[in-house]
Amino acid sequence: MNKTLIKQHLAVGAFAFGISIPALAQAQSLGERHDLVIGVERVFGMYTTHIEAELPNGQNSVQRGTGVGLGYQRPVTALTVPRVAVDYFISPSLSLGGSLGFDAIDPDTGDPNDSGAFLFSPRVGYAIPFNPDWGVWFHGGLTYLGEDFGNNVNTSLLALTADATFYYMPAPSVGFTGGPILDLGITGSRKAGNFDGDYNERLFGLGFGMFARL
């Protein structure tokens, strides 16, 4: 093999290697260290809920429901409202983050309100990619929910929250999510006038959303 042919082969190899570097970078799976993920969760979902509140007469009011949540059209509970989530991978597959949600629509009247429902959910996560496009991302943490719609009734709840989020990434920086979610109330209270009673909520369902990886 002459020197000219060797140089041609080396040039072709170098060109192919140069093309493959960005392709390999793009093929990285979700969960690389320092990945920052910003998403919107529970934009759409199907939920089963159980709400229990203590009444002034000492009895409990129980409300159960099954429904579909789309945007802020929530079935029964503010736990289903969309929320913005931010997660950061501190090491491969292991993430720390949380989500925030707010709902100013009064569930009784359907009208906007000056106050409303607020929730905050810190969490830890672990991502298991099946390949660069598909995988599952587990989350576990706590959710605080507070509601005040100006009707002299205030509600607060602390719940355990867990989900198994399956994701699909059609592009290296964009993904769609869906999977089972669980909110299990630990403690809560409902104040109506001078009465302060126990309050609890449980939710199980399927939630869907999307995210961007930075």
Q: Name the region of 23 (left: φ>0; alpha: ψ -120 to 50; beta: rest).
A: alpha
The SS3 assignment for 70 reads strand
pTM for this predicted structure? 0.80
Strand pairing category for 60-70 and 83-91: unpaired
Give pLDDT, residue 195.
87
Range among 19-28, 78-87, 150-159 rated most confident: 78-87
Reported residue count of the chain is 214
pLDDT at 198 over 60: yes
Cβ neighbours of residue 139 closer than 8 Å, sequence gap 6 or more: 123, 124, 125, 161, 162, 163, 165
Radius of gyration of the chain from Cα atoms? 24
Nearest to 165 by CA among 141, 193, 147, 196: 141
Q: Are 202 and 50 in contact (CB under 8 A)?
A: yes
Taking only the tens place, the pLDDT of each residue in 60-87 is: 889 898 888 887 776 678 899 899 999 9
Give pLDDT, residue 6.
45
Give pLDDT, residue 76.
74
